[in-house]
Amino acid sequence: MAVRLVMLGAPGAGKGTQADRYARARGVPKISTGDILREAVQAGTELGRASKAVMDAGQLVGDDIMIGIVRERLSRPDAAGGFVLDGFPRTVAQAQVLDELLDDGVPIVVVNVEVPEETLVERLTTRRICGSCGWNAVPGVRVCAKCGGELIQRRDDSADVVRERLRVYARDTQPLVDYFRERSTFRIVDGDQTPDAVAADLAAAVASVVGERM
């Protein structure tokens, strides 16, 4: 059965890493809103130009543009056999449209990766990324494993800014979690474990919905 997985989780929860890992293991695309936004902007599509104008003005890309970009991405042949969504939906309105787009009987598995706030603060304030390609470094690494670039700390990874980001995330995302929570396809995974343990729990959570051995 095709697996349609939506990953939820606060900044620093590791959902992006786990989404990528699961998608590679299943042989399905990981669809990240950040990636497809950049792709649309680089390709110069109508939605890409609209996105660039909004971002250049320092504003967040709205539901209409995001929904249009995701709708186009999900229509591609490689998504027919399943996919992992990372960063979409972010609002209840986006979730409702996703339900309408995928109203064909194949379940949408929603996994919320939960991590205590203090652990998230520690992770985010100590993490480093590549200043050239944006790769998230693992602890102990001194240079980017992808391009050899210099590792830097993001400006928004100071403790005060991180706590505010987490507060805003909790406030804005709670309605979305509540939207999915009562479904039989909703699962919670403990993200305060080793990456391998989280990956195993994620696979088991999805398997419990779609009835597969993984």
Strands 3-9 and 151-152: unpaired
| The one catalytic residue among 52, 71, 127, 163 | 127
| The one catalytic residue among 73, 90, 123, 128 | 90
Residue showing tokens 């050239």: 132
- Catalytic-residue membership of 127: yes
| The one catalytic residue among 4, 30, 165, 187 | 165
| The one catalytic residue among 38, 52, 71, 154 | 154
Residue 73 CB burial class (10 angstroms; 0-12, 13-18, ≥19)? buried
Q: Distance (Å, rounded) from C-alpha 59 to C-alpha 207?
A: 39
| The one catalytic residue among 15, 123, 128, 187 | 15
Q: Distance (Å, rounded) from C-alpha 183 to C-alpha 106?
A: 14
- Catalytic-residue membership of 123: no
Q: Distance (Å, rounded) from C-alpha 161 to C-alpha 102?
A: 36
Given a contact cutoff of 8 angstroms between Cβ atoms, the answer to whether 33 and 46 are in contact is: no
- Catalytic-residue membership of 15: yes
- Catalytic-residue membership of 26: no
Q: Comparing C-alpha atoms, which of 167, 169, 136 is closest to residue 154?
A: 136
Q: Which positions are catalytic?
A: 15, 90, 127, 154, 165
